[in-house]
Amino acid sequence: MYRKISPVFLQMSKHYKVSDSFVPVRNAFPKSSSLVSSCVGYDQEELKSILNAAVRGMRESASRFEKAYQPRWIGIAPPLEDVAPIGPGGSRSYWASEEYRIWWWENNCGCMRLNSNELYKLPKGQAFFQSTALDGKKATVEYLNNFYEAIASFKGASKRLEKIAEGKEKVAYKDFAHSPSKVAATTKAVKEQYPDRTLVACLELHTYSSLNAEFLKEYEGALEYADVAVVFYSPDAVKIKQLEEVTYEQIAKAFNREDLIIYTNPAEFKTFLFNQNLENSALLLMSSGNYGGLNFDEVKNLML
């Protein structure tokens, strides 16, 4: 009978939540004294003993093969300009981004550990497989398995709604969010997590698009869930990017919020931030920049 159910154990060991180190031993149980031919199976008591031994073994080694993977990107737009590095040609290399690979795997593979042959049958599956190789090396099954092992402990890229410090009834996050939709979603998510705290949401307009006067209109309502809404931008960044100057009035009108606080001087922004009463609050710093040189280690001290 064990010979009949052993394929179940073998198939179970291939499940994406089962560690590769868990390999059922073939012919692990002694043959029954009643086994007189290859067609005769175990009797009822022997079968119970086998199954009980298997259950005990799995319970004892559960911590070895159980991996609780929590999807992060199911149904969410792919992370593109936020995390993808710029390649030698000047364009963003999405497949070089760990988060983009994880997004693709979750949304196209259903969080299942597929082999290379199965991946090649999927649209862009070959590109995904090749992207698991490192330093330009040829992709192999080993690299693919390394990817599967890594994502189990992957905590997310730095500044992707990253909790940088937490104290008694106060917490600070930093996030890459800068596009209107992501700013709105991130602000709402933090407010929903801390509904009874004052949400101080700070946004730095830093990218080419966010510093475009026409595109600014897209930010209307993006900070509506913030109790204290702050926007920072550097006129120097506008000049460096050779963009048309964005005015204080344009920003205020775009966000359509009468109590919006706007800073263009890094020192003044820092003074404002460090003079805030952050008791019973959640501080959210959203930017793909650093607010003109803000020291985040000093921000952490605000949570002490």
When the pLDDT of each residue in the chain is averaged and rounded to a whole number, the result is 77
CATH at residue 192? 3.90.190.20
Separation of alpha carbons 83 and 162, rounded Å: 14
Question: β-strands 198-205, 281-286: how paired?
Answer: parallel
**Whether residue 36 is found in the same domain as residue 131:** no
What's the pTM?
Answer: 0.52
Predicted confidence (pLDDT) per residue in 240-255, tens digit: 667 777 888 899 999 9
Same-domain status, 100 and 173: no
Q: pLDDT (tens digit, 9 = 90+) per residue, 152-163?
A: 655 544 456 778
More reliable by pLDDT, 27 or 262: 262
Does residue 297 carry a pLDDT above 80?
yes
Residue 263 and residue 226 in one domain: yes
Rounded to whole angstroms, the Cα distance separating 232 from 251 reads 10
What's the number of domains the chain is made of?
3
Q: Average the pLDDT over 202-213 and give the result.
A: 79
Q: Which domain holds residue 177?
A: 162-301
Percent of the chain beyond pLDDT 70? Answer: 68
Verify that 167 and 267 share a domain, yes or no: yes
